[in-house]
């Protein structure tokens, strides 16, 4: 027996004495006619809501559905339009990255890290080589450290930009999508100028970067940061106080702080619930503790707060980028360590020793000592960790990706149950999933 | 918009209990170094159940006997001096050396003390791969344990819904991340294609799948026999 009262707002312009919107419940009378009116009329009529009993309906969202952001399938059991049960099915994009990694040298795995969370490819490259360098016992150069910070923050902006754009489209706003995808294009142009690739960057190497930035690249970055502030403000104006946007996001998919921690949430999902945990602050890497930036934290843990947190994170990323531009030192990018770094090309083609060195490194690969390490970084989705186990050979025994959106998505049944079907789209979008990372 | 960095309710700032400000680790030695203080607490509390502990790449590893692992994790989560409230990861490692036991790995994080701890359980690769589930302590362990089952065939006892997650439920080739599993899969391409073509994807889009356990008896005869056959064939291929 359903006890829900379906309310429709027929007279939204009418306010009662207290200034609240007068809602008119839609009630079916015993004779079959519909009775509408304001609440007082409803109360005086003292009509019990009729039992609208029916079978539960089963709905499949996905695996091919534009609003699931990839090949995610949600099986929803509906009572009317309310979700009673949600069972997610994943794995449609499973490629066995971790298995393949066991058959590859460390530098050969870097291209695979592009392809898992493909909105954050540069960030994944950096996280992966940070783990390798811990394993090899290598300290990277100061210039490389700053370049990697720039790479990570650019990919954070890029990922959040795509999130805002696609989530806005899911909820029904198309304009910010176009504005903000122009900025994404600008970042892609910057990355193309730096490493030669746009999406699958493979921008790092164990012990350094694939390439130093070209001349004049910093000016491009500077003008991007300046221009991006404007786009961000425009998007902010378009969405933050927008009645439709807030109506579709406020109060949805709420996670309490303790729930969020217990389910292993990380990144904006966790911070929107009010837990100030950011790997960059709490377990810093790449000298993040020396940068001046704030970690935005939400209050309510709903979709709207996740949006606010991500918007503010983009501003903070701009702050970090500005500081990184200021402090970028001169000097070499790659470490001076022949164990991992290839000799320069002109030497490899002219000197016998360098050629042999080049050949050995490429064919046999660098060998870390036996050991294991887990290095976590703050990816746009949350805590992205690489757990690597080496037995002293050139290929890892185990290469484990700790995928933040995998763990974040696992809480979706908890978040959507009890909400309406259309809200499932907004809640699912708010998790910021990339199926490439979830299925790996 | 700067006001929402201040929490309205009990906001949980990370690192409130930490004694030193976090900094980027530098020159981390491959072996040795400062161990996580929790390792010593564990030895004091659980004694023989802690097999050994060491520091590698700046991270503390603790090997625990499988009988005690649930209690150890529960204590680490609940004790006010430890407060490992965050389960980072559950995974497993199998070494190329066939004589080395398979390790199940739990990565725990204390957000209050900013500590990181790696717990391990060693299981002989030929014996039964069974460890207790920690889903009653961390609900986030749900999918992580399911993935571990899917990839390594480790049974997490007490997990309410331990089924394959990344691979499909009728996958019969075994557990891909085990070292005896070839990179290209167990079956030939022809066999894989044959199975893919014989699969009935429509059967998976039904109410039956949602409420499989409770509705089994009321299913039509053909559906019941198909499910029973699937189950029998699946277990046979897993060698149980």
Read off the pLDDT of each residue in B4-31 and give the average, rounded to a whole number. 65
The pLDDT score that the predictor gives to residue A218 is 92
Higher-pLDDT residue of A388, A10? A388
| pLDDT bucket at A37, cuts 50 / 70 / 90 | very low
Q: Which residues of chain B neighbour A284 with C-beta distances below 8 Å?
A: 22-24
Cβ pair A257:B12 closer than 8 A = yes
**A35 and A144 housed in the same domain:** no
The average pLDDT across B39-62 equals 89
A278 touches chain B (CB under 8 A): yes
Taking each helix axis as running N to C, give the angle between helix A142-171 and helix A421-430, from 0 to 180 degrees, rounded to the nearest 10.
170
Question: Do β-strands A204-205 and A382-390 pair in parallel, antiparallel, or remain unpaired?
Answer: unpaired
Closest Cα in chain B, distance from residue A169 (Å): 24
Our CA angle for A332, A334, A336, nearest 5°, is 90
pLDDT of B32 strictly over 70: yes
Closest to B30 (Cβ–Cβ): which among A103, A286, A371? A371
Are A381 and A120 in contact by the 8 Å Cβ rule? The answer is yes
Is residue B201 a contact partner of residue B215, using CB atoms and an 8 Å limit? Answer: no
Question: Is there a domain that residue A299 lies in?
Answer: yes
Q: A275 and B111: CB-CB below 8 Å?
A: yes
- Residue B14: predicted pLDDT: 67
Residue B219: how many other CB atoms lie within 10 Å: 17
CA distance A71 to A89: 9
Tally of domains in chain B: 2
Q: Which bin fits A80, alpha (ψ -120 to 50), beta or left (φ > 0)?
A: left
User: Is residue B157 assigned to a domain?
Assistant: yes
Structural domain contains residue B17: no
Look at B4 and A297 and tell me if their CB atoms are within 8 Å: yes
Q: What is the pLDDT of residues B67-96, one digit of tens each?
A: 999 999 999 998 888 889 899 999 999 998
Which residues 340-379 on chain A approach chain B with CB closer than 8 angstroms? Answer: 369, 371-374, 376
- For A413, counting Cβ atoms within 10 Å of its Cβ (0-12 exposed, 13-18 middle, 19+ buried), the class is middle
By C-alpha distance, the chain A residue nearest B58 is A373
Q: Which residues share a beta bridge with B12?
A: A275
Q: Is A292 left (phi over 0), alpha (psi -120 to 50) or beta?
A: beta
pLDDT for res B240: 38
A136 and A26 fall within a common domain? no
Please report whether residue B24 resides in a domain: no
| Nearest-neighbour CA in chain A from B229: distance (Å) | 22
Query: What is the reported pLDDT for A51?
Result: 54
| Domain extent for B158 | 30-166
**What value does the mean pLDDT take over residues A31-50?**
48
Best mutation target, B14, B201, B212, to test chain A (most A CBs within 10 A): B14
Separation between Cα atoms, residue A257 and residue A380, nearest integer Å: 19
Closest CA–CA distance from residue A25 to any residue of chain B (Å): 33
State both tokens at A134.
């811990």
pLDDT at A6 over 50: no
In chain A, positions 188-247, which contact chain B (CB-CB < 8 Å)? 236, 240
* A142 part of contact set with chain B, CB < 8 Å: no
Backbone φ and ψ of A118, nearest 5°? -75, -5
- Using an 8 Å CB-CB cutoff, list chain A residues near B21: 289
Cβ–Cβ < 8 Å for B38, B115: yes
The minimum CA-CA distance between B69 and chain A, rounded to whole Å, is 18
Count of the separate structural domains present in chain A: 2
Q: Which residues contact residue B193 at a Cβ distance below 8 angstroms, ignoring those fewer than 6 apart?
A: none
Q: Report the relative pairing of strands B50-56 and B59-64 from DSSP bridges.
A: antiparallel
A112 shares a domain with A15? no
Instruction: Measure Cα distances from A216 to A219, A225, B131 in Å.
Output: 5, 15, 57
Which of A72-86, A96-110, A121-135, A212-226 has the lowest average pLDDT?
A72-86
Q: Which domain holds residue A17?
A: 7-45
The residue of chain B with its CA nearest to that of A281 is B22
Indicate if A32 and A119 belong to the same structural domain. Answer: no
pLDDT value at A84 more than 90: no
In a domain, B7, yes or no: no
Tell me: pLDDT of B99 over 90: no
Check CB contact under 8 Å for A90 and B114.
no
Query: What is the reported pLDDT for B69?
Result: 92
Residue B172 lies in a domain: no
Whether B205 and A60 lie within 8 Å, measured CB to CB? yes
Query: Between the CA of residue B64 and those of B50, B67, B87, B153, what are the distances in Å?
Result: 5, 8, 17, 20
Do the domain assignments include residue A148? yes
Residue of A90, A91, A103 lying closest to B183 (CB–CB): A103
Distance between CA atoms of residues A365 and A92, nearest Å: 33
- ipTM of the shown complex: 0.81
| Helix (DSSP H) and strand (DSSP E) numbers for chain B | 7, 8
């Amino acid at each position: 027996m359903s006890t829900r009262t379906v309310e429709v707002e027929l007279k939204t312009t009418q306010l009662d004495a207290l200034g609240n919107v007068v809602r008119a419940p839609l009630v079916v009378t015993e004779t079959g006619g519909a009775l509408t009116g304001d609440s007082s009329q409803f109360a005086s009529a003292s009509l019990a809501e009729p039992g609208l009993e029916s079978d539960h309906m089963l709905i499949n969202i996905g695996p091919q559905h534009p609003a699931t952001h990839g090949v995610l399938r949600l099986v929803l059991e509906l009572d009317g339009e309310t979700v009673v049960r949600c069972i997610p099915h994943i794995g449609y994009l499973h490629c066995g990255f971790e298995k393949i990694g066991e058959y590859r040298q460390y530098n050969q795995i870097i291209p695979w890290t592009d392809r898992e969370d493909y909105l954050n490819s540069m960030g994944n490259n950096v996280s992966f080589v940070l783990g390798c360098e811990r394993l090899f016992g290598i300290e990277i150069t100061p210039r490389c450290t700053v370049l990697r910070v720039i790479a990570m923050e650019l990919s954070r902006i890029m990922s959040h930009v795509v999130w805002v754009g696609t989530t806005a489209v899911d909820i029904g706003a198309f304009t910010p999508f176009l504005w903000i995808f122009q900025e994404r294009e600008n970042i892609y142009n910057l990355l193309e100028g730096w490493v030669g690739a746009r999406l699958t960057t493979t921008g790092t190497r164990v012990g350094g970067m694939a390439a130093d930035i070209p001349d004049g690249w910093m000016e491009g970055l500077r003008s991007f940061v300046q221009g991006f502030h404007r786009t961000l403000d425009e998007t902010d104006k378009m969405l933050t106080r927008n009645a439709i946007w807030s109506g579709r996001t406020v109060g949805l998919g709420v996670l309490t702080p303790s729930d969020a921690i217990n389910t292993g949430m990380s990144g904006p999902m966790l911070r929107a619930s009010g837990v100030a945990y950011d790997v960059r602050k709490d377990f810093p890497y790449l000298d993040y503790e020396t940068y001046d930036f704030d970690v935005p934290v939400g209050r309510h843990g709903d979709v709207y707060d996740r949006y606010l947190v991500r918007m503010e994170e983009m501003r903070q990323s701009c702050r970090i980028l500005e500081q990184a531009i200021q402090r970028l030192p001169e000097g070499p990018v790659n470490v001076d360590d022949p164990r991992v770094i290839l000799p320069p090309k002109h030497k490899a083609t002219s000197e016998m020793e360098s050629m042999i060195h080049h050949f050995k490194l490429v064919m046999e690969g660098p060998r870390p000592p036996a050991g294991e390490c887990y290095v976590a970084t703050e990816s746009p989705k949350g805590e992205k960790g690489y757990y690597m186990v080496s037995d002293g050979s050139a290929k890892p025994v185990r290469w484990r990706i700790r995928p933040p959106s995998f763990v974040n998505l696992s809480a979706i049944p908890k978040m959507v149950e009890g909400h309406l079907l259309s809200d499932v789209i907004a809640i699912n979008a708010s998790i910021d999933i990339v199926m490439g990372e979830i299925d790996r | 918009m700067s006001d929402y960095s201040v929490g309205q309710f009990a906001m949980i700032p990370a690192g409130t209990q930490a004694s030193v400000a976090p900094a980027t680790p530098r020159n981390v030695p491959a072996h040795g170094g400062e161990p996580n203080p929790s390792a010593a607490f564990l030895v004091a509390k659980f004694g023989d159940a802690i097999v050994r502990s060491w520091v590698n790449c700046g991270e503390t590893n603790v090997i625990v006997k499988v009988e005690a692992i649930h209690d150890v994790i529960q204590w680490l989560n609940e004790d006010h001096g430890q407060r490992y409230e965050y389960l980072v990861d559950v995974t497993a490692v199998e070494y190329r050396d066939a004589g080395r036991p398979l390790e199940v790995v739990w990565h725990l994080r204390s957000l209050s003390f900013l500590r990181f701890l790696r717990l391990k359980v060693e299981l002989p690769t030929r014996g039964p791969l069974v460890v207790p589930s920690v889903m009653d302590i961390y609900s986030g362990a749900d999918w992580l344990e399911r993935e571990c089952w899917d990839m390594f065939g480790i049974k997490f006892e007490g997990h309410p819904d331990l089924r394959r997650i990344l691979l499909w439920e009728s996958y019969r080739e075994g557990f891909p991340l085990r070292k005896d599993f070839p990179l290209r899969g167990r079956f030939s391409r022809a066999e894989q294609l044959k199975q893919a073509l014989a699969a009935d994807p429509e059967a998976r889009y039904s109410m039956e799948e949602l409420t499989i356990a409770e509705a089994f008896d009321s299913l039509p005869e053909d559906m019941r026999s198909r499910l029973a056959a699937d189950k029998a064939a699946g277990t046979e291929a897993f060698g149980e």
